[in-house]
Structures are given as structure tokens and as C-alpha cells.
Amino acid sequence: MALGDFTRFDFTSHGKTRAVYRRGSGPGVVMLHVLPGLIPEVIDFGRRVVDAGFTAFLPHLFGVPGKPLSAGYLYGQAIRVCLNREFHALAAHKPSPPACRTAFGSAGPESAPPYPDVRRRQRA
């Protein structure tokens, strides 16, 4: 497991419970992961924070901990997060979040990926 050297505990706030992974014994550093989730690079950075003398706290907000980054995984999680926010807005009779409406633009997910290295190559 990608987080086997971390200790997992549950944290509850505002009616939601999330898993948090902890490692280290120095001053605490809360590390919020990127979309799509706790990818191996984020977990490895947490280990470097620990090696520098800190305690790393990695809350699991979405995605699959340790799953490698790929375009499909990134876009799938982005769509899932945006749909979740859309339904919450609908239930609360509020407008949808602007970030979700404009994140992909009219051309689809390829129009604005946050990670250029996973962008689909343009055909010549």
C-alpha cells in the first residue's frame, strides 16, 4: 500500500468524516492533495516533509489513495467533484459553482488540463 508507513485516523467536522494519514513527530504540516487525489507524488512529498523533521498530515478528500496520475483519472475525478457540487447547489436552490461550469470550457476537458504532461497530444 502506498501509505503503509503512515498511520490512518478518522477526522470528523461539520458532519463529514474523512480519513487522515499521519507520519512524523515534529511540528505539524497539513498537506492538501491535488485533484485527482493522494497520488504517489503527493505521498512522496509527505515523506520528504517528515524527513525534514515535521509531522505530515495528509487528509484524503477524494480519489483513491496511491493511484497514479493519468488523464482519465484526473478528468474522472474532476467531473465527479463538479457533479457533486452541482447537485448540492441544486438541492440548496443556489446557482452552480462557476469553477465547475467553466473548468472544461465548451471544448471539453482537453481545453484546460491543469497538468500539461497528461494532456492528450494534438494530432498533426
- CA proximity to 3, closest of 25, 28, 20: 20
- Determine, yes or no, domain membership for 66: no
Q: Which helix (H) or strand (E) holds 94?
A: none
Q: Three cell numbers at 87?
A: 447537485
- Determine, yes or no, domain membership for 65: no
User: Does residue 98 share a domain with residue 54?
Assistant: no
- Determine, yes or no, domain membership for 2: no
Q: Please give the model's pTM, rounded to 2 decimal places.
A: 0.66
- Determine, yes or no, domain membership for 64: no
- Determine, yes or no, domain membership for 111: yes
Q: Which domain holds residue 52?
A: 7-59
What does residue 114 show for φ and ψ, rounded to 5 degrees? -75, -15
Give 57-102 pLDDT, tens digit per residue: 999 988 889 888 888 777 777 777 777 777 777 777 777 666 555 5
